[in-house]
Structure 1
Amino acid sequence: MRELAAVVLMAIGLSGCGVVGRTSVKTLQLAMQGKPDVQLTAADVAANRYPQIKVNGPKGGAVLVLGSLDGDRQGWYSNDRSIVFLEDGLLVRTHGGTPELQDMRIDGDNPFHDLHRIQAPITVQRQYDIMPGYRFGVPVSGTLENLGIENIEILDKNRALLHVRERLKGPNWNRDNHYWVDPANGFIWKSVQAIAPDVSLEIVQLKPYSPDLKR
């Protein structure tokens, strides 16, 4: 695993006392505050050269920066060390907060590599490990359906994205996940994904990790 958060801070700390250096420091601090009302402009995001996502949950929103890479798994960190782990844009784990998704795994074929290719509805089988309550191995079935192209605004830019809905069914579980993906390569720009039967997180890519856009 390559830990990037310390490198981010060190690089900005060494960037000098000029306007660019001060702007980068200010942007990184804002991006890692995790305040419920945190809002970034396109200029704020552009001033920080590191990948950033916005996560909205039941207690408000925060902007997280890419802090670790482990194979296909990305760890996105807030300043209070809360972490969201993504694989191909799929939410697979969280750290910090309640409830906490300790693990989510796909049984069998994983259609999330190619969401833009979905035509007819398909079914995916998941297992969730959730705390508190030691809810391990919770089986959940999801049905993915292509809802067509929608215009989604991200940082004042409109994107024509394919909307894929996933209806989840499981023990005490009846929620929908939503994914807005690039129709050309399947990259997930925005999503709403459940971490428990009654809690979902909204994830928006503000400045993606550049290799993800070259699939």
Structure 2
Amino acid sequence: MIENSHLRRPIARGRAAVLCLVTLALSGCGLVNTESPFWATVAAIRGGSDTSPPVDRAHVDNLPYASMLAWFDDTKPSFIVLGQVQNGRLFWYSAGQQVIVTRGPYVIQTAGLGRDLTAVQFTKGSVESPLNLIGQERQRSLDARGEGRFAWELRCTYSSAGRENVVILERPMELSKVRETCQQTEGKPIENTYWGDPQTGLIWKSQQVLLPGMAPLNIEILKPFG
């Protein structure tokens, strides 16, 4: 389960929130069959120690599903498996029945995390890799329905932070690092970081603040979709 040590409040409504999010987001499409091999794979991984990932490289490579690790700072990583794809949105599920929805490298919805991101609207409509946005500005807005906050406006600029050697679950990579600085209408700027392959534009690793005042969520892609 993905824990947020900076919140430390019960997530008793997490499972109900997951079901509501998935049902609404899929516009009437049914949930993944919880008796399927997919759910058996997800349920089998319940987390490792506080310092080590819950899976190894051989296990990930042998699975037929795209997968990633996700964690908040000071918490152990959780193994997250891609369960559904719809209109460019990827729905990732944890063993604790939490959901992370991504579009490109960006997290756009969550359920079961304590504070949840309801929606992200991109001003230009399209989603671009941060690697292609160096020196540019983009705008997006955030919704947090549970907090009664809508259209939380962010104006984001992108700057190169050079190249960095990164190891993702035993696999070394040399990736380009991009910093995203987002200005709010109120409050301090939000800092996000992305590490990606300059040849393909794929973001393998990121650190994203999902909502203002929230601890950053770390994501490492173990096996990409497609």
TM, length-normalised to structure 2: 0.76
Q: Please identify runs of 4+ aligned residues in structure 1 that moved more than 4 A.
A: 1-5
**Is residue 72 from structure 1 mapped to residue 98 from structure 2 by the alignment?**
no
Asked if 2 retains the 8 angstrom alpha-carbon contact of 1:34 and 1:78, the reply is no
Higher relative contact order (CA 8 A, sep 6+): 2
Cα RMSD over matched residues?
2.5
Decide which of 123, 129, 150 is 1:107's aligned counterpart: 123
Asked if 2 retains the 8 angstrom alpha-carbon contact of 1:4 and 1:67, the reply is no
How many equivalent pairs are there? 194
Q: Is there any run of 5+ residues in structure 2 with no aligned partner, and where?
A: 1-25
Asked if 2 retains the 8 angstrom alpha-carbon contact of 1:35 and 1:60, the reply is yes
Residue aligned with 1:198, SS: coil
Identity level (%): 25
Identify the residue that residue 5 of structure 2 maps to in structure 1. none
Decide which of 78, 81, 96 is 2:97's aligned counterpart: 81
**Is residue 116 from structure 1 mapped to residue 131 from structure 2 by the alignment?**
yes
**Is residue 125 from structure 1 mapped to residue 128 from structure 2 by the alignment?**
no
Distance in structure 1 (CA, Å) of the matches to 2:213 and 2:206 = 16
Q: Deviations over 1:66-113 (max 9, x none)?
A: 111111000001122210001112111111122100011111264x52
Q: Deviations over 1:155-182 (max 9, x none)?
A: 1111111101001211224221110011
Asked if 1 retains the 8 angstrom alpha-carbon contact of 2:142 and 2:152, the reply is yes
Decide which of 165, 179, 203 is 2:219's aligned counterpart: 203
**Is residue 141 from structure 1 mapped to residue 168 from structure 2 by the alignment?**
no
**CA separation of 1:188 and 1:64: change in aligned 2, threshold 3 A:** same
Distance in structure 1 (CA, Å) of the matches to 2:121 and 2:47 = 27
For residue 92 of structure 2, what is the amino acid of its counterpart? W
Residue aligned with 1:116, SS: helix
Distance in structure 1 (CA, Å) of the matches to 2:183 and 2:92 = 28
Distance in structure 1 (CA, Å) of the matches to 2:38 and 2:90 = 21
Distance in structure 2 (CA, Å) of the matches to 1:76 and 1:102 = 15
The Cα of 1:207 is off from its aligned counterpart by 1.2
Higher strand share goes to which structure? 1
TM, length-normalised to structure 1: 0.79
Residue aligned with 2:54, SS: coil
Asked if 2 retains the 8 angstrom alpha-carbon contact of 1:85 and 1:92, the reply is yes
For residue 91 of structure 1, what is the amino acid of its counterpart? V
